[in-house]
Structure formats: structure tokens, C-alpha cells
Structure 1
Amino acid sequence: MNKIKVLFLCSRNSARSQMAEAFLRKYGGDEFEPYSAGLEASEIHPLTIKVMEEKGISMDGLCSKSLDIYLNDRFGFLITVCSKAEKECPFFPGVSIRLHWPFDDPAAAQGSEEERLESFRKVRDQIEKKVIDFVENTDKYSNIKDNFRM
């Protein structure tokens, strides 16, 4: 069975898109094949790794990736998870459905480490909820679902 390929896109692929990819791997079962990328790849933020480990999700072996490596690929969904990615990537070839899930950038949080951790946890929990909702409600696209299996 072909899986539905999903690309999560944000500005640096250091936090939000990485979390979304990891949660879709956890909750998507055999239905989805998740990927993530950034407009400008950087390193995965250490607090991303920490808050995902709190949920029992290891980020070992993952790295930040640039959008460029996926330009010739086809995806059922492109989901931007930040306003910068939504604005700066107005067109992406090979995408059936494009969605925008705007989340605050936890990497921009200021304050003590505990305050920054709380920002990462808040965004992590919002992303987890959104991914679960996406998985449970993908049937609303059922009229074209077979067309975006890759």
C-alpha cells in the first residue's frame, strides 16, 4: 500500500517541523510517510530534542534538512508550520494539498531555561494535538485521497 507523503515546512527545520514529522510518525501508522524541511536548514534545537524525549520520542539520527532536497519530489500534503514558510514558499511543485498551521517559534522564546522549555512544551503540545486531529480527520479528503498517495 502506498503511503500519503507529507512534508512539514518551517523556516529552519529546527523545532516545529521536526516535532510535526515525529508526531506523524508516531500517530500516522502505515497511512503516512512524513518528512520535514526548512527554508534554511540549521541544527535541531537542543530543547526540541529534550521536549520530544519527554513524550518518549527519540530524535536520534534526525537532522535538519533544506527544502531544496525535496523540490523534485511529490507530496500529498505540504503543511507550513510557520508564517515565514507560508509567505516565502508561495508555490511548491508536486503538492496535492497545501495547509497552513501557524505555530509560534519556540526557539525565539526569551528568559530562563525553564521559561524557554515551557515555550517548547506549549508548542509541542499544540503540534501533537494538530497532528492527531489531522490523522483522525484525513477522511475529509477521501474524495481525492487515492490521488495523493505517492
Structure 2
Amino acid sequence: MYQKLKAYISELESGFDSIPTSRKEELKKTADYIHSKLEDHKTAKLNFICTHNSRRSHLAQIWTAVAASQYGIGNVETFSGGTEATAFNPRAVAALERAGFRVENPGGDNPEYQVYFHEKAEPLTCFSKTFDDPLNPQKEFAAVMTCSDADENCPFVPGAEFRIPITYRDPKESDGTEQETDIYDERCKQIAAEMFYMMSLVN
């Protein structure tokens, strides 16, 4: 794993105690779902869903995949989608780069970013799509709702066998302000810490 990212993760793990109890309860429910799938020798598929699949859902997908790798948890696959497709927002991508990821941007209106976290690991391909895109699981998966709008406006996710709201405040509200970088870094770190905490409970 890249050194900068390794240091970032070490800091996250030392701050698990600061995660509110109510959040830990929801994260544990998701960890229990993952654990039950693995106990049955099945693949745990997690689809993180927000409205535009541009910020929070991507961050949750990426950090969960990295946490699974870090803790040696196999048979976990992460996905993300929206109620509509836009593009993976470059501000969220920049926050990942500041955390220590290496990201390749091929360009285009909806770039298929290649997100690297380890010299020997395959990159994660991340781009905006709807939650029911053919590339996402169609049955026997967990729908993790990362924004309240998607949770309220999408009461039924076809094929999901487990659904849970783990929502985050949208960093988009800071776009174009002096606080933009700080807010994106704060949200990236919050999501990272909670996804790492969740995955630490699986084993």
C-alpha cells in the first residue's frame, strides 16, 4: 500500500472511538450482513447508493474495498450507483488523491477513473452510473444508502436482500467556497473511518 495512504489509514484506526454510538450500531448491522454471507461461503456484494453517484457513494465504495484488502477479507465486492448518472465529481477525486490514492483520469464527460491504492492490486474503476446498471449486482446484495434523498426517493431497490441507510452530509454544499477543500477532506475522512470500522467488525 502507498506510504501516504498507509499513514492516513493508521490515523483513521486510532480514531474509531470518536465514531458516535448510533453510527456504530448501523455499521455493525452491515458488518453482520457481510459476516453472514461469508459464513455461508458466499460473496458479500455491497452497492452504495446516493442520488447522483458523484461523491459519497463512490467514497464509500472505494474505502470499503480498501478496508477489505487491508484486513484480508476476501469475497467482498463493492459497487456504487445513483438514482441518476452524472459523473464522479473531481473535487471528491482530489480528496482521495490528498488521502494518498493514485488516480488516472482518461477524460470525457463521465470519466472511468482508475483508482490505485496498492502497487500490486488492480485499480478500482469508478464512474457514475445508476444503481441498477448492468455492471452492478442485480440480486442478493446489500443496498447501503449514503444520502437521505436517495433513501427517501428510492424506497425499493430491486434485488436487494438487505438495505440500510448510512447517510452523510453532501460536501457539494461547499462547492465554490473557501471551505471547499476542508469540507471534502472532512467528508472523505469520515466515510473512510466508518467503512474501516465496519470492516474491522467482520472478522
Fold shared, TM-score > 0.5 on shorter chain: yes
Counterpart of 2:198? 134
Q: For residues 72 and 52 of structure 1, do their structure 2 counterparts lie closer, same or farther at Cα, with a shift above 3 Å needed? A: closer
Does residue 124 of structure 1 match 2:188? yes
User: Aligned partners of 1:55, 1:111: CA distance in 2, in Å?
Assistant: 21
What letter corresponds to residue 28 of structure 1 in structure 2? A
Which segments of 5 or more consecutive residues in structure 1 lack a partner in the other structure? 140-150
The answer on 1:65 being equivalent to 2:129 is yes
Give the match for residue 57 of structure 2: 17
Which residue of structure 1 lines up, in the alignment, with residue 122 of structure 2? none
- CA distance in 1: counterparts of 2:191 and 2:126, whole angstroms: 18
Q: RMSD of the TM alignment (CA)?
A: 2.0
Give the Å deviation of 1:108.
Answer: 2.0
Quick check: which has more Rg, 1 or 2?
A: 2
Aligned to 1:147: none
* DSSP-derived class of the 1:69 partner: coil
Aligned residues: percent identity? Answer: 25
Gaps of 5+ in 2: 1-40, 104-112, 115-124
Aligned positions of 1:31-50 closer than 5 A:
31-50=75-94
Secondary structure at the residue paired with 1:37?
Answer: strand
Does the CA contact (< 8 Å) of 1:7 and 1:75 recur in 2?
no
Q: Which amino acid aligns with 1:115?
A: Q
Distance 1:134 1:117, change over 3 A: same
2:147, 2:166 within 8 Å by CA — same for their partners in 1? yes
Q: Which amino acid aligns with 1:79?
A: V
Corresponding residue SS for 1:68? coil
